[in-house]
Structure 1
Amino acid sequence: MVMNTYNSDEWQGWMRAALNGDAGLYRKLLAAVRPWLLSYFRRRLYGSECEDLVQMTLLSLHEKRHTYDVSAPFMPWIAAIARNKLIDYVRKAGRHVHVELDEAMGVDDGLRPELAARDVQVLLSQLPKDQARVIGLHKLNELSVEETAAATGKSASAVKVIVHRGLKKLQGLVGLKGGTNE
């Protein structure tokens, strides 16, 4: 029976057993992970490429299974593989990806908040330092425009322009329509 939801603890146990040679639990794990992967990709891409990405991710899981740390949670490991396959696919295809801007994003995916925070920092590091600082204060630290202006010595209108241009640049970096890489 294929599961509609994931059970990270159970999957972690199955992965441990698979690494110890239990082929039956390994097949069961692959069958159980498949619907989760399909859902993961369908929430981010439109079209028929989701099934291909599921297959590529399962193949990658198989090829990299020896790298799995049995003391670590399974979900972040498989989610990282899926995320990397998605990024590779989007870059190669030059396609746009659907990115959810929801506070709960990552919780359903089994991703830890620190992974999202790291991704944000990687993106911000691609902006000029002053622009990244203003966006960080206003959007991440949730300072008002006026508070951000006071903290940076800029006018409120300058903060608005810096944030707007920076967010457009970030959209371009992740391949969202309307963004710019300039």
Structure 2
Amino acid sequence: MHTDPAVPIQVALGCPDDAEPWFKANYALLNRPELGDEYTRLLNAWVTLEQKHDFVMGKGSKNRVTVPKPDVLQSWIASGRTRSRKQPVVVNIEVFAAQVVTWWGALQPEWRQLDDAGLPMATRRVRGDWGQPLDVHGQNGMLSAVACLGWWGTALGSPEARASDLRWCRLIRDVAWVCEEMAQRL
């Protein structure tokens, strides 16, 4: 539900016709306009980023992050992502949210400061390269963050519940901003 007249309503870009099959399958699962304008902005930013990479399936980062991926994400990857055609279900929102926040914070380059909650500071200024492991495209890249936020938002349910979960709101904006910034530099 769009409530702020100062923020333009986001319209989904749609899945580009020239997208690779991996992208089309994931876009179909993650295109959730009911999750609101901020999520649509995130989806659009992800579309633009992958489009600028010509939807090439990037390889995973060789730089290992000391924080594991969220459990639900690991299960989804192990089951072949979209091959199962089923969306993962987040059973315990608090555990999943904590895992996503910690994992996203661990992916950040050292020039990004984290606040006491483990979220990147709201300062929106790029001060260096994004670097590995964050700057990975294809199904091994930002898809994971977009998917986690889609599942989290779905688990929250109502627009009111999503609006009141400040971690989800902040991460939606942050991941969208990262995708937009990385796309601008291509």
**Which structure would you say has the larger Rg?**
1
What TM-score, normalized by structure 2, do the two folds share?
0.25
Report 1 or 2 for greater relative contact order, CA contacts < 8 Å, sequence distance ≥ 6. Answer: 2
- Could you state the TM-score of these two structures normalised by the residue count of structure 1? 0.26
Structure whose residues are more often helix by fraction: 1
